[in-house]
Chain A
Amino acid sequence: MAKFEKANSIGEWLDQRLAIETLKKVMNTEYWIPKNINFLWAMGMVLAATFGILVVSGIFLLMYYKPDTALAFDSVNYTTMTEVGYGWLWRHIHGVGASLVFLVIYIHMFTGIYYGSYKRGRELIWLSGMGLFVAFSAEAFSGYMLPWGQMSYWAGMVITNLFSGGSLEAYGLVEWIRGDYVPADAFLTRFFMLHVFLLPLVIIGLIVLHFGTLRIPHVNNQDGEEFDYAEAAELYKAGKVKESKVIPFSPVFLSKDVFVMGVYFILFFYLVFYHFEFAMDPVNFDPADGLKTPAHIYPEWYFLWSYEILRPFSKDLGLVLFAISQVIFFMLPFLDRSPNVAPASRRGLFKYWFWILLIDVIVLTFMGKLPPTDALFANIGLVAAVLFFVLWIALPFITKSEKKL
């Protein structure tokens, strides 16, 4: 055992046993972040904060929630919303937070694509981030089941049916996932388990991994510039903060994060108090009814683009393309053949690729919510879906031909 001397303060006592001083340096005061960044680099902390808010509000929703098809709806809409002190606040925060977390995830993702933050050395940052996107999607979907309204039920029905694999007709698998012929009590209880236990655990694990993957390659910067971190850090520690290309995570980088979070929270709570309907679909305030499908059913907005890829094609082709669209973003670091780490604006054709992809995904999102019965919308959706795949097929070719900067 190591030799321990008498400590003169609580801090020292802890430092002897936990090396908190070293920890503080490694994680905060000497965790170096490039100086040349903008507010988009704060999205990671904004996401972490949103996840924290979702966990806290979720804990209080959990206190009166009953995972039982006969009780779930009223336990949420009556007990929590009308009886529990501030229950309505937790629910609105949770609903709005679930929606906004995806907005920030998408901003975070497209920031990474724009600045090339997934390229050589940073592949794992991208892959673990995509893993988080998938885990958050599963978390959002399972949470959407819990109030057991009409949208919960029919979303549960439709999404689990995807697993029948079209012509494979794997209905046994679908029943296995549901634990019943239709989404019923067993289904609700297991998705409750997933939502409050297994998936949050996975998310926390992935967040740790995501932070870990940043450590060695370091955070990218606005110009994709490569420089010697050790040298820059020495310069900073020597007091030449102006000349140094880095800043410590805490308190300098953090002070900007906190400011960005403040702006974000103003929007967040404005939505919570005055504009929550967008995140809490009215249709889900009708109790689940297995004998009546609502006139319009559509996923939450963040799933619309992939839903639209499913829709315009025949059943099997749609499923295959849908499956590809779910994983294609994972492939980005390997499909981008360019040697350059630089903002899209300096990368020739990739510039156009980026903006077309962004607009295409937004168009797919629009069309995903519109009724497919309208021929014009259906055709726009088809074109956008085809374009989505054309873009991904074109990516290796246009990046291969890119000139080295």
Chain B
Amino acid sequence: MGKDVKGRRDFIGMALGGFTALGGIGALYAMKRSWDPLPSVKAAGFTTVDLSAAEENVLSVEKWRGKPIFVLKKSADMKKDPRDVVVGSDHFHVSIGLCTHLGCIPAYKPTDHKFLCACHGGEFDASGHEIFGPPPSPLEIPPFKIDGTTLVLGEAGPEYKKMLDAGLTV
């Protein structure tokens, strides 16, 4: 067989292979979409927390996207912080209750105004700053929006965006 004839054959074979690969990419895209979180999971990513019922220096834990959310109303003797969620004259500490070291849930000690992580001894103050042990960064603040006296978790309001811009959380 002649050389150029063989070349043309290879070209058709390669064109077919390339075209099949194109279809394969399309199929992969559909497969990727099938792995995405469901719309209902995404829609359920919002939780509302009523702040009006909170008591001072009592930690309440809410669940948002499967994670614990700390809500702590600060009493007058507790230090205010730029990370606080301010509603009227009340200051709240709101954070994702997972230690930034390896993800255990720290316990709140109301007498010391401190969060203690049992796993590796990390400590955070009542504003979520790491003060002792291995945690590399403060407790994270979930995206929130203040709506009257309720807090909508999962939606980024202007107060949250300000904190984000100021680098107070990630």
Contact = CB atoms under 8 A, between A and B. Distances in A.
Interface string A193-208: 0000000000000000
A128 to B, nearest CB: 30
A83 interface: yes
Interface in B13-42: 13, 16, 30-31, 33-36, 38-40
Given A251-B13, A258-B16, A90 B34 contact: yes
Nearest to B36: A85
Contacts of B38: 79, 83-84
Given A251-B13, A258-B16, A86 B40 contact: no
A87 interface: yes
Contacts, number: 23
Contact of A86 (B16, B33, B39): B33
A60 B27 CA distance: 12
Tier of interface size on chain A:
10 to 19
Q: Chain A interface secondary structure, helix, strand, loop or mixed?
A: helix
A86 B34 contact: yes
A241 to B, nearest CB: 9
A85 B35 CA distance: 8
A83 B40 contact: yes
Interface in B34-64: 34-36, 38-40
Interface string A84-122: 111101100000000000000000000000000000000
B13 A84 contact: no
B31 A60 contact: yes
Contacts of A376: none
A79 B36 CA distance: 13
Interface in B93-122: none
Contacts of A83: 38-40
A85 B33 contact: yes
Contact of B30 (A63, A79, A89, A258): A89
Contact of B34 (A84, A251, A258): A84
A84 B40 CA distance: 10
A83 B35 CA distance: 11
A89 B13 CA distance: 29
B40 A63 contact: no
B34 A60 contact: yes
Contacts of B13: 251
A63 B36 CA distance: 11
Contacts of A89: 30
Interface in A69-83: 79, 83
Contacts of A63: 34-35
Contacts of A251: 13
Contacts of B39: 83
A60 B40 CA distance: 18
B30 to A, nearest CB: 4
Contacts of A60: 31, 34
5 tightest A-B contacts by CB? A85-B33, A86-B30, A83-B38, A60-B34, A85-B34
Given A84-B38, A90-B34, A251-B13, 8 more contacts: A60-B31, A60-B34, A63-B34, A63-B35, A83-B39, A85-B33, A86-B31, A258-B16
23 contacts: A60-B31, A60-B34, A63-B34, A63-B35, A79-B38, A83-B38, A83-B39, A83-B40, A84-B34, A84-B38, A85-B30, A85-B33, A85-B34, A85-B36, A86-B30, A86-B31, A86-B33, A86-B34, A87-B34, A89-B30, A90-B34, A251-B13, A258-B16
Interface of B: 13, 16, 30-31, 33-36, 38-40
